[in-house]
């Protein structure tokens, strides 16, 4: 079945987090590689799943979701950053899944339970972003969840702890590995209302079959500072220094970019020495 046909069928639009493995996809130790994923639309027969590595039509999938348990099947269609999983289930298993979907659909209509964390985690409606490394290379990634202080992602690379990188437009460092990905702590706390705009990006059109080394951007590269750099910004008026301020470029480059070369106090940003 195609994705277009499935979207016309009766199903429940529900976001349930889980993890999956692709057939013939292994890590450096030869063990099956596991990635994080999240459903977007589910029926007792098939489901749309947002993923960091899409695979190809016909690939066997083994998955696990907290609300559904272990589910196996194969990919029948793909879109950018998602695949349609045809579920291999017995009749009794489909009946149980249908009952669970009805319960989840009703639960979604209830008020959300408040998050107990100091900085609540957000599960975005769109699930993908771009990792940018210090050498300018990029990689698509799957956003597990995010907050004002950091983001959890899954990708077909596993950076070392302490590695600086950017997730979308937010610069940070890898702070710990996760069972199906890794956590990044931002250099600067972000505005919760800006998270989706800053982090989420359209994924690269890459599948497990065509996955290769991180992509390098062609042409002129945008300046991306992944380590703290202290600098003095001098406001110049008709050849006379009228003001100076010290800035941290790694923490403040987004503000400088957003201000389109305008200094915070209203004068033109002439140069950075």
Residue in the structure block whose two tokens are 């990006």: 201
Is residue 203 included in any domain, yes or no? yes
Q: What is the CATH number of the domain that holds 177?
A: 2.40.10
Q: What is the CATH number of the domain that holds 38?
A: 2.40.10.220
Lowest pLDDT segment from 9-18, 97-106, 239-248: 239-248
Q: Which helix (DSSP H) or strand (DSSP E) does residue 235 occupy?
A: strand 230-237
Give 79's strand partners: 82
Q: What range defines the domain where residue 70 resides?
A: 3-107
pLDDT tens for each residue of 234-259: 666 666 655 655 554 544 444 433 33
My answer on whether 67 and 25 are in the same domain is yes
Q: Can you say whether the dihedral through the CA atoms of 57, 62, 66, 67 is positive or negative?
A: positive
What's the domain count of the chain?
3
Lowest pLDDT segment from 96-105, 180-189, 261-270: 261-270
Quick one: pLDDT at residue 229? Answer: 52
The band of 32, judged by pLDDT with boundaries at 50, 70 and 90, is: confident
Residue 44 tokens, joined: 């007792």
Is residue 113 included in any domain, yes or no? no
Quick one: pLDDT at residue 267? Answer: 39
My answer on whether 206 and 235 are in the same domain is no
Q: Give the residue-averaged pLDDT of 106-122.
A: 60
- 65 or 222, greater pLDDT: 65
Give CA–CA dist 207/262, Å, rounded. Answer: 41
pLDDT tens for each residue of 56-101: 999 999 998 878 888 999 999 999 899 999 999 999 889 989 988 9
**Among the three residues 216, 248, 265, which one is the final residue of a domain in this structure?**
216
Residues 165/174, Cβ–Cβ less than 8 Å: yes
My answer on whether 61 and 103 are in the same domain is yes
pLDDT above 50: residue 223: no
My answer on whether 100 and 8 are in the same domain is yes
Quick one: pLDDT at residue 179? Answer: 80
Give CA–CA dist 55/206, Å, rounded. Answer: 9
Residue 42 tokens, joined: 């589910």
Question: In the predicted model, what is the mean pLDDT of the chain?
Answer: 77
My answer on whether 188 and 262 are in the same domain is no
**DSSP SS3 for 261:** coil
The band of 185, judged by pLDDT with boundaries at 50, 70 and 90, is: very high
Is residue 152 included in any domain, yes or no? yes
Residues 190/177, Cβ–Cβ less than 8 Å: no
The pTM for the full model equals 0.56
- 7 or 214, greater pLDDT: 7
Is residue 119 included in any domain, yes or no? no
What Å distances lie between residue 240 and 82, 234, 246, 262, CA to CA?
57, 10, 18, 18
Q: Give the residue-averaged pLDDT of 120-149.
A: 85
My answer on whether 63 and 16 are in the same domain is yes
């Amino acid at each position: 079945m195609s994705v277009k046909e499935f979207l016309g069928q009766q199903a429940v639009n529900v976001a349930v987090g889980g993890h999956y493995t692709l057939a013939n996809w292994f890590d450096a130790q030869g063990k099956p590689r596991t990635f994080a994923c999240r459903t977007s639309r589910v029926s007792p027969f098939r489901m749309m799943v947002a993923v960091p590595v899409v695979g190809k039509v016909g690939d066997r999938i083994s998955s696990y979701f907290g609300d559904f348990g272990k589910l196996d099947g194969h990919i029948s269609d793909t879109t950018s950053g998602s695949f349609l999983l045809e579920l291999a289930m017995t009749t009794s298993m489909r009946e149980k899944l249908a009952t669970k979907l009805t319960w989840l659909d009703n639960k979604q209509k209830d008020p959300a339970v408040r998050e107990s964390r100091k900085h609540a985690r957000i599960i975005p409606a769109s699930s993908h972003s771009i990792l940018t490394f210090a050498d300018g290379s990029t990689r698509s990634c799957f956003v597990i969840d995010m907050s004002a202080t950091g983001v959890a992602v899954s990708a077909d690379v596993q950076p070392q702890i302490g590695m600086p990188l950017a997730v979308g437009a937010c610069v940070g460092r890898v702070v710990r590995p996760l069972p199906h990905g890794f956590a990044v702590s931002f250099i600067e706390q972000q505005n919760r209302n800006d998270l989706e705009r800053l982090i989420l990006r359209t994924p690269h059109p890459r599948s497990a079959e065509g996955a290769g080394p991180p992509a390098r951007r062609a042409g002129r590269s945008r300046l991306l500072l992944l380590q703290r750099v202290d600098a003095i910004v001098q406001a110049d008026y008709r050849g006379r220094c009228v003001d100076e301020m010290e800035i941290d470029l790694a923490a403040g480059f987004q503000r400088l970019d957003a201000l389109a070369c305008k200094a915070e106090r209203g004068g033109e940003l002439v140069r950075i020495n």
